[in-house]
Structure formats: structure tokens, C-alpha cells
Amino acid sequence: MAITKGQTFQDSEVVDKYRTLYYAGASGDFNPIHIDPEFGKMVGLGGAILQGLCTMAFATRSVTKLIGDPGKLKKLKCRFSAPVMIEDTITMQGTVTDIKEGLGYIDLKVTTQTGAEVLQKVEAVVEV
């Protein structure tokens, strides 16, 4: 799919109660803060939190859905800034900020339903 400078897009994902377990099985990240709600409460997180890389995967998927080919994603970087809780809705809002020399540059804002920015400085580079 062709993208254009200034183009915007949005995607969202609801974190179901099993998502941390699915991701733990796939990634091997069985840290108790992700799979044990009581442990998450004990350490002050309010319950189990989603693995940061799973949040990043949702952001990545929003970009690859836009471009239509995961192989065209050349780079994605971000800063993890806030936890994602079970049953949160994560929204990715993207803007194509530039296209030059065969590459598209995309900025993403990744937030929960409360407006908390869970990933910051999210930038993707894609082949166009």
C-alpha cells in the first residue's frame, strides 16, 4: 500500500485477561509482575501488567497493517513510559511525517483509554 506524507491512521487493541499469559508463553517472560495479579499488587503496580514488548508489538502491528507488508518495516524505536493493565485499551495514532529516498517516517502516539502515554518517542521507518 502506498503511503503519503501527512497521512494519519489509528488502531487499537484491548488487553484481554489472558494476554499476559499468551505473551509469556511465546516470549518466555514469566516475570511475576506479568502473570500474577497478587504479586503485581504487592509491588505497587495495582495488579499484573502487560509485558512492554507486547505493547511494542501492538504498535508494530499497527504500522505493518498500514504498509501491508511486515517485511517493509525497517526500524521501530520507542521509550517505555507507563504500564499497561489487564483490560486496558491501547490506541495507536500514527502520522507519516516524511517520505524521502524510498523510506517513510512515521511517528506514533500510543495511549490507554485514560490518556496515559504508554510508549513515547515512537518512530518507525518503512520502505515505500
- DSSP structure string for the chain: ----TT-EEEEEEE--TTHHHHHHHHH----HHHH-HHHHHHTTSSS-B--HHHHHHHHHHHHHHHHS-GGGEEEEEEEE-S--BTT-EEEEEEEEEEEETTEEEEEEEEEETT--EEEEEEEEEEE-
Distance CA(38)–CA(80), nearest Å, equals: 23
Q: What is the pLDDT of residue 1?
A: 74
For the domain spanning 8-15+51-127, the CATH number is 3.10.129.10
C-alpha cell at 43: 509491588
Q: Where are the domains of the chain?
A: 8-15+51-127
Instruction: Taking residues 95-112, report their average pLDDT.
Output: 98
pTM: 0.93
| Residue 19 confidence (pLDDT) above 80 | yes
Give me the chain's average pLDDT, please. 97
Q: What is the pLDDT of residue 76?
A: 98
| Residue 126 confidence (pLDDT) above 90 | yes
Each residue's pLDDT tens digit, 21-76: 999 999 999 999 999 999 999 999 999 999 999 999 999 999 999 999 999 999 99
